[in-house]
Amino acid sequence: MRAESFGGRIAGRIAAGAVVAALAVGAWAQTTQPASLVPPALSEAQKTRVNPVVTAYRKVQPAVVNISSQKLVQQTFGLFGGSDPFEDIFPSPLRRRVPVQSLGSGAIIHPGGYIVTNAHVVRRADKITVTLQDKTQYEAKVISADPRHDLAVLKVEPKAGHSLPYLPLGRSDDLMPGETVIAIGNPLGYANSLTTGVISALDRTLEFGEDVSYTGLIQTDAPINPGNSGGPLLNIHGEFIGINTAIRADAQNIGFAIPVDALARELPALLDFERINRLIFGAEVAQRHTEAGDMVFVTAVRAGTPAAQLLRTGDRVVQVDDRKVGQIVDYTCGMLDKRADQVVRLTLQRGGKDVAAAVRVKAKPRPNGKELAHRWFGMTLREVTPELARDLRLTVDRGLLVVGLEADGPAHRLGLKLGDVLFQVGQFYTLDLETLGTVLEDVRAGQVARIGIVRHNVRAWANIQAQAAPQTQTAPADAPAKRAKSGQQAR
């Protein structure tokens, strides 16, 4: 990977923007038997017309959600209305923030309210609303998003004592071209729409621009339209095998889905409880398909951590506390409940025998995000507040404002300007300096990170390379405020 120019080509690199949202964790329930996916009763006449597609749809539909996202864009309007003939000669200083809606789909993967969708579905949003089949609506928060794989995990908070219908993860390593598939989603706002087709091919690659590509995709001829993105692709048994993500706009019935096994691989990073909750545990896990079903195994144990003396590579995780672990979702969502000094009681299987392990997780010191941003990227940042956004006429009211740039530092060379707003680093939304510190603490000299920047109404992505040593010359930190007063703030 390489550092890239941000200025000059920014219009051509507009990405689906960032979600202004916070991290969230929630309750955990076991995901091995989704009793909530029991379909309603059929009449005798209906029973005569039931086929495998009907059965699959009825079983899965309650766990498919509609996602409505809202972003606020800043518009300039004339003194005499929107069609002011003098606007081209005398640009109006009047601006307003106008809401713009977009639609997508998602699948609930855990009864505690965890939802998987595409990163591009929610990346532009200031507000996200999730609607269930029964019309119940929840405001959702983004836990994590990974544009490299176009995956995001949202969190809604079910009512106390309630759990949500959900889809267990299927498998995508045994798919066959020609087998029937079912796509469910929210195309063009038509909720809970079903289309069918076949798998046309496997292991496809899509390239978007010079530095964004998705590999290993499922190609299908099941009709997929705008709004289907993020919804589940199912096999004929109603098993979750993929996440609908893209279509070829210049063709018909050429759609693509992310294999569900790719989601299973990325979930430990997307739901990294150690990073999110500032903990030290020390074990890494992965899901594997076996003849007996899905299982979760320890793949690595870091030396000097609480897990180092009790867990071994190759251990199978059978239970966390009193809840069974069958899939990676069970483990990752369960561990998100943990806090510093709590004891995690694991049941492991090692050499054919059950082994009990009680691991006390430790608190992880919080790094200084402001210092790390300056050290690695040569930029000084300030947290955006609604008041600051209003004073500087920013188009977002949360994020990290660039108020200083080292001369010839990584951020300066990339083309960042005073007044830009940093909203994401890697797959994590960095809306405050504390979160930024947790993301940057593992960065090393020469490492390349992908960042999201807001400049005026444009949200764009670029790669930035961490410097070996900090520079000394820094642009004045109060420059954005001064430019705002003179009407010359960078947009």
What band does 373 get if pLDDT is binned at 50, 70 and 90?
A: very high
CATH 3.40.309.10 fits 180-263, yes or no: no
Active site residue 163: no
Active site residue 150: yes
Catalytic residue among 102, 144, 150, 200: 150
Handedness of CA 187, 232, 331, 334 (dihedral sign): positive
**What is the average per-residue pLDDT within 265-275?**
93
Q: What is the pLDDT of residue 473?
A: 47
Mean pLDDT, the chain, rounded, equals 83
Question: 376 pLDDT exceeds 90?
Answer: yes
Nearest to 186 by CA among 229, 146, 155, 132: 229
Domain boundaries, the chain: 15-155, 180-263, 279-363, 369-486
Q: What is the pLDDT of residue 481?
A: 43
Domains 15-155 and 180-263 share a fold: yes
Q: What is the pLDDT of residue 99?
A: 57
Q: What is the pLDDT of residue 275?
A: 87
- The least confident of 89-93, 107-111, 144-148, 266-270 is 89-93
Active site residue 84: no
User: Where is pLDDT greater, at 17 or 346?
Assistant: 346
User: What is the distance, to the nearest Å, from the Cα of residue 83 to the centroid of all Cα atoms in its chain?
Assistant: 39
Question: 102 pLDDT exceeds 60?
Answer: yes
CATH number for the domain running over 279-363: 2.30.42.10
**Alpha-carbon span 114 to 155, nearest angstrom:** 5
User: Where is pLDDT greater, at 210 or 368?
Assistant: 368
Catalytic residue among 105, 172, 200, 229: 229
**What is the average per-residue pLDDT within 11-33?**
33
Q: What is the pLDDT of residue 127?
A: 86
Catalytic residue among 110, 120, 374, 412: 120
CATH number for the domain running over 369-486: 2.30.42.10
The model's pLDDT over 228-251, given as tens digits with 9 standing for 90+, comes to 999 999 999 999 999 999 888 777
Q: What is the pLDDT of residue 4?
A: 38
The model's pLDDT over 172-206, given as tens digits with 9 standing for 90+, comes to 999 999 999 999 999 988 888 999 999 999 999 98
Handedness of CA 428, 431, 435, 441 (dihedral sign): positive
Taking the C-alpha atoms of 407, 410, 412 and 415 in order, what is their torsion angle to the nearest 10 degrees?
160
The model's pLDDT over 25-70, given as tens digits with 9 standing for 90+, comes to 333 333 444 545 667 788 899 999 999 999 999 999 999 999 998 7
Question: 306 pLDDT exceeds 50?
Answer: yes
What band does 74 get if pLDDT is binned at 50, 70 and 90?
A: low
- The pTM assigned to this predicted structure is 0.74
User: Where is pLDDT greater, at 468 or 77?
Assistant: 468
Question: 85 pLDDT exceeds 70?
Answer: no
Q: Which CATH architecture has domain 15-155?
A: Beta Barrel (2.40)
